[in-house]
Amino acid sequence: MTVGTAVRNPLVAGVLGVVLGAAPLAALYTVAAPATAHAQGSPPPAAVTSAEPRGGVAVLLPDFTTLVKKFGPAVVNVRVIEKAPEDQGNDNPFGPNSPFAPFFRGLPFQAPPQEQPIRGEGSGFIIQPDGLILTNAHVVAGATRVTVQLTDRREYTAKVIGVDKTADVAVIKIAANNLPTVNLGDSSSLQVGQWVLAIGAPFGFENSATAGIVSAKGRTLPDSGYVPFIQTDVPINPGNSGGPLFNMQGKVIGINSQIYSRTGGYMGVSFSIPINVAMQVAHQLMTTGHVERGKLGVVIQNVDQGLADSFGLPEPEGALVSSVEDNGPAAKAGVKSGDVILALNGQSIQTSSQLPVRIASLMPGTAVTLTLWRDHSKRDVSVKLGSMGNETVASAQNPQHQGGSLGLAVRPLTGDEQAQAHTHGGLLVEGVSGPSEDAGIQPGDVVLAANGQRVSTVEQLRSAVERSRGHVALLVQRGNTRIFVPVQVP
């Protein structure tokens, strides 16, 4: 279960966070050096110190004390108040609209308790000395009042400059000057295994520091397909959201955002927004008040070995286009269902989750070059990106089952059925067995294509299977969803 929203209720306010990592560590275990070997120079923001147990072997661990002293004052506690849900009055037997109200006029009675405002709490960090602060969108979205507390206990009412829920980034500002600030780093240089430090307010305990390493990069999460999250094992809990993630050089490389949890607390898997992505969003919020993202207009899915075999790909890679938006940017450029997008502007697409992130980082109107795999060969097409708005950039879907004779009983769709399914041609599945059943195809599905070739007759489907060399990728429509399903033909 992925948890990524602020924990808010009348009693406890918390926000969930994440962490990033940075800075290589040459060796974790080494023989202890003489005490005089570390006497020169001043320590970096995070130094490496040794603890010597019995046997003369020292364990090298990062020392974050200098980093915390220098940049801890730039990390703030963010408290929010949301308006309580309005009482509709219809369920109150003593309310003025109640049919029993006339019987109680003039009689003293105790009114039912009023709903208390919802209070929440998170973290943030100062990026400019004039009071500009970054935090998570889910910390301040919907708040009627935002209060920022500094480490010296001063408090300010903050103004929300802009909120982008898609990237979960918000910019707020307080009326102050000469404030301590953090140093921003480059999240693109992160390496898995680097040490990182998070500072925030878990459970309201402001300015708490926790450390760990970068576990993975480029993670995509449900409903967050446009952010390549950094995964860490830094202990993050409610209240850490919006706080900074530092590398060992003392530079912010991410914003704590979400955790994976079955209990609501830390379980060793945390996620943060790369600072490069966050600052790109923050700049647009500060200059225009909203964020624009490029749009390709396709629905994609990952390519597994079965699909790679079906389409003749040398290896499973790229983003398989399962459907194309009518009159969208991709459709206008000639992209078709069944194409596999292998590269964007010459940069390879290894998994489908990489494509939405890269497209969303580009501005509408940008011309991009897609490298496609079609009919067992590569080709390049140029696409002028549209504007995402609240629509889909390039949404990813994954088949629930992977998968003859096909084991299908099918018939052509009638004209009315084609109109209802918003398609031309296609075969209605009336019975399933064998490989197709194993692959997850169900009665009522509509088979639109086989290995990229449209099918309208049983003979066309049979011919495609005979040419499939043991693997056939069926484009199946179920309801309003289209997806390729690989079927292994015996």
Give, in degrees to the nearest 5, the angle at Cα 74 between 69 and 80.
Answer: 130
**Helix (H, G, I), strand (E, B), or coil: what is residue 38?**
helix
**Helix (H, G, I), strand (E, B), or coil: what is residue 416?**
helix
Query: What's CA 25's distance to the chain center, in Å?
Result: 28
Give φ, ψ of 330 to 5 degrees.
-65, -40
**Three-state helix/strand/coil letters over 200-228:** ECHHHCCCEEEEEEEEEEEEEECCEEEEE
Residue 477's DSSP bridge partners are 446, 482
Q: Taking the alpha carbons of 92, 97, 99, 104 in that order, is the dihedral positive or negative?
A: positive
Q: Taking the alpha carbons of 231, 233, 237, 242 in that order, is the dihedral positive or negative?
A: negative
Task: Let me know if 138 is a catalytic residue.
Answer: yes
Beta strands in 250-398 (DSSP E): 251-260, 270-274, 294-295, 298-302, 319-324, 340-344, 347-348, 367-374, 377-384, 386-387, 394-397
Angstrom distance (rounded) from CA 338 to CA 322? 6
Give φ, ψ of 319 to 5 degrees.
-120, 115
Catalytic residue among 187, 241, 352, 395: 241
Identify whether the C-beta of residue 333 lies closer than 8 Å to the C-beta of residue 388.
no
Catalytic residue among 123, 138, 215, 353: 138
Catalytic residue among 123, 164, 168, 187: 168
Structure tokens at 51: 């603890």
Q: Given the DSSP bridges, would you call strands 340-344 and 367-374 parallel, antiparallel or unpaired?
A: antiparallel
At which residue do the structure tokens 């920022």 appear?
148
Q: In angstroms, how far is the first alpha carbon of the chain from the final one?
A: 38
Residue 196's DSSP bridge partners are 212
Structure tokens at 166: 């898609």
Structure tokens at 73: 């004052």
Task: Let me know if 168 is a catalytic residue.
Answer: yes
Residues tagged active-site: 138, 168, 241
